[in-house]
């Protein structure tokens, strides 16, 4: 049942416990209890909204930054990752295999703002060896959702 609840909520987090109880043919109290539990255990981390900001012409830029770092004794990459992810400008941080170590996603109002953030906050950190900044030009799909040209119902209204 846990998986089924999570599948429903990750598809649409506004589904109410009442609706979920009908969908899964389960007891309403059990559903409420289970969701509470998942929230408390941080399995459900947060209920988010996917926004297509381009539609409201908000000025913003996203950059992916490849960061090479020197891992620290005893702490590995975790300490430097934490130094980086604490900045509110940083939206996500991943430890990567391959040519560089950390993939950092940064959001800002302008390219200049992001560039200054990299130059003044990121590149100057002791363990950071180098950075390469890539600006995002267009978002096509976020978290499994296609932003434009969503597929319409092309079916006939009635088909026997």
Partner 1 sequence: MNIKNKIAERVKEVPPSGIRKFFDIANEMEGVISLGVGEPDFVTPWNVREACIYSLEKGMTYYTSNWGIFELRKAISSYLSQRFGVDYNPKNEIVVTVGASEAIDLALRAILNPGDEVLIPDPSYVAYMPCVRFCGGKAVAVECRVEDEFRITPENLRKYITPKTKALILPYPNNPTGGIMTREDLEAIADVLRETDILVISDEIYAELTYERKHTSITNIPGMKERTILINGFSKAFAMTGWRLGYAAGHVDLIGAMVKIHQYTTLCAPIMAQVAALEALNKGFEDGFASVEYMVRQYNMRRKVIVNGFREIGMDCFEPMGAFYVFPSIKKTGMSSEEFCERLLMDQKVAVVPGTAFGSSGEGFIRCSYAYSIDNINEAIKRIRNFLKRI
Alpha-carbon gap, residue 88 to 129, rounded angstroms: 22
**Residue from 88, 144, 149, 160 that binds partner 1 (CB under 8 A)?**
160
Which pair of tokens denotes residue 13?
């987090």
Instruction: For residue 136, state whether it binds partner 1 (rule: CB under 8 A).
Output: no
**Residue from 4, 43, 96, 142 that binds partner 1 (CB under 8 A)?**
4
Dihedral, 109, 111, 113, 115 alpha carbons, nearest 10: 150
Helix axes 17-24, 2-11, angle to 10 degrees: 130
* Residue 116 Cβ vs partner 1, minimum distance, rounded to whole Å: 41
**Binding map of partner 1 across residues 9-48, x = CB under 8 A, - = no contact:** ----------x--xxxx-----------------------
Nearest residue to 135 (alpha-carbon basis) of 67, 65, 63, 54: 63
Residues that bind partner 1 (CB under 8 A): 4, 7-8, 19, 22-25, 151, 153, 155-160
């Amino acid at each position: 049942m846990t998986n089924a609840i999570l599948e429903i909520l990750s598809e649409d987090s506004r589904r109410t416990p009442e609706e979920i109880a009908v969908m899964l043919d389960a007891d309403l109290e059990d559903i409420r209890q289970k969701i509470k539990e998942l929230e408390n255990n941080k399995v459900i981390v947060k209920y988010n909204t996917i926004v297509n900001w381009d539609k409201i012409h908000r000025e913003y830029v996203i950059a992916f930054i490849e960061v090479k770092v020197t891992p620290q004794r005893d702490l590995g990459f975790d300490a430097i990752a934490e130094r980086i992810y604490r900045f509110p400008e940083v939206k996500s941080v991943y430890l990567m295999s391959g040519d560089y170590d950390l993939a950092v996603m940064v959001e800002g109002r302008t390219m200049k703002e992001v560039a200054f953030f990299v130059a003044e906050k990121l590149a100057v950190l002791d363990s950071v060896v180098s950075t390469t900044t890539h600006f995002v030009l267009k978002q096509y799909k976020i978290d499994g959702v296609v932003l434009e040209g969503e597929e319409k119902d092309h079916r006939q209204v009635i088909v026997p």
